[in-house]
Amino acid sequence: MRFLKTSNLNTISRTSKQNSTRPLSAMAPNSTFVGLPVIPPEDPSLNAASPKPRGIQQVLLAREQSEGAGATVRRSIGTPKLKNLTPFLMLDHFDVGIGAGFPDHPHRGQETITYLLDGAVDHEDFAGNKGTIESGDLQFMTAGRGIVHAEMPHDNGDGTSNVGMQLWVDLPKDLKNCEPRYRDLKAKEIPTAEIDDGKVTVKVISGRSHGVDSVQELAYTPVWLLDVTIRPGGKIVQPLPAGWNAFAYMLEGTANFDTGVTTQEIKQYHNAVFEQKGDQVIAQIGPEAKEAARFVLVAGMPLDQPIVQYGPFVLTDPSQVRQAMMDYSTYSNGFERAENWESAIGKGMG
Ligand code: MN
């Protein structure tokens, strides 16, 4: 939910509309690209005869920080310790109450995946799309060449907070200029895998777990997203595509990860970043554990391209980032509809 205040852009002249209309050379539209399969066929790790566990290269504690207007996030990707992990640009575990939120702000060049864990978040964009993401639901938003939108806490009527995760995924460079689009995934549409005699439940949001495949075609960049709950005495062995970057972010409790060399304990609000080497992730908790452990296991196909980011603009070279700021402030090249637009849900908070 990284947020860029419009006032940060006040230094940019709004007078150079002529210059800003030139085409962006590295942003040629490519309407034929429909994305790669989320389950790679013939993958050496998914089909490994003697699979090996992945090691852990880094464990990051996501500390609370303020973001947007009065919201708090625990960020574990997109920080000085881990600027990005291609294709992942940011991971926020957010908590947004009434009176806070992310009023009107732009995006270009990435996809955002919002997963509501508790409460709800209202969404409205400059193309007239609006809706509410409720507990257990996801929204996959492709910003492409440009989106301006507001993400605000839903009034649950009882003062409860709105908790969720937002993951930013880089777009392949040929798709940075694509048209914005949305994919919604409702909680009831998400298939689940019950394993280890019911001691482990996996919500298969994207990817494959124990023979259960997700709904396909959610993001352009192939990403696996599994919501794993392990109850006391439970264990999961989860294969991941070969060479993809992967991490486990612990939402609740503590789980032990078998790295093949040792067992590493990962606690709540910690993000364990795995080595690229290896075929699978193994996690368990002992029968004596007092509570279940819940984590999201996320993997994505690395993109071989530079990442040049300024706030919500993610391109592949600095001139494109300057162009994005110019386009946003001159309502050009995808930001036309931002002119005279103000969301109803973010009103008074910009
Ligand atoms: Mn946003």
- Percent helix, strand, coil in the chain (nearest 5)? 10, 45, 45
pTM, to two decimals: 0.90
Which distant-in-sequence residues (6+ apart) come within 8 Å of 17 by Cβ? 330, 332
Cα of 56 vs centre of ligand 1, distance in Å, is 30
Domain ranges of the chain: 189-300
Q: Ligand 1 centroid vs 132 CA: distance in angstroms?
A: 14
- Ligand 1 centre distance from Cα of residue 157 (Å): 24
Residue with tokens 């549409």: 189
Dist. CA 312 → ligand 1 center (Å): 8
The pLDDT assigned to 18 comes to 33
- What was the pLDDT predicted at 32? 47
What's the gap in Å between 272 CA and the centre of ligand 1?
25
Name the CA radius of gyration of the chain, rounded.
20
Domain 189-300, CATH: 2.60.120.10
Distance 123 CA to ligand 1 centre (A): 9
> Is-contact 116 92, C-beta < 8 A?
no
The sign of the CA dihedral 116, 121, 124, 125 is: negative
Question: CA 65, 292, 227, 106: dihedral to nearest 10 degrees?
Answer: -10
Is the link from the previous residue into 87 a cis peptide, with omega within 30 of 0?
yes
**75 CA → ligand 1 middle, Å:** 15
CA of 136 to the centre of ligand 1 (A): 19
Distance 345 CA to ligand 1 centre (A): 14
- Identify the pLDDT of residue 265: 98
The rounded Å distance from CA 245 to ligand 1 centre is 23
Amino acid 36: pLDDT = 83
72 and 267 in contact (C-beta within 8 Å)?
no
> Could you list the pLDDT tens digit for every one of the 350 residues in the chain?
665 544 444 333 333 333 333 333 333 344 444 568 999 999 999 999 999 999 999 999 999 999 888 889 999 999 999 999 999 999 999 999 888 999 999 999 999 999 999 999 999 999 999 999 999 999 999 999 999 999 999 988 888 889 999 999 999 999 999 999 999 999 999 999 999 999 999 999 999 999 999 987 789 999 999 999 999 999 999 999 999 999 999 999 999 999 999 999 999 999 999 999 999 999 999 999 999 999 999 999 999 999 999 999 999 999 999 999 999 999 999 999 999 999 999 986 75
| CA 3 to ligand 1 center in whole angstroms | 7
Q: Is 252 exposed, middle or buried (0-12, 13-18, 19+ CB in 10 A)?
A: middle
The alpha carbon of 39 and the centre of ligand 1 are apart by a number of angstroms equal to 28
**Cα(7) to centroid(ligand 1), Å:** 16
167 alpha carbon to ligand 1 midpoint, in Å?
Answer: 11
211 contact partners, CB below 8 Å, separation of at least 6: 193
Measure 2 CA to ligand 1 centroid, in angstroms: 7
Alpha carbon of 148 to ligand 1 centroid (Å):
8
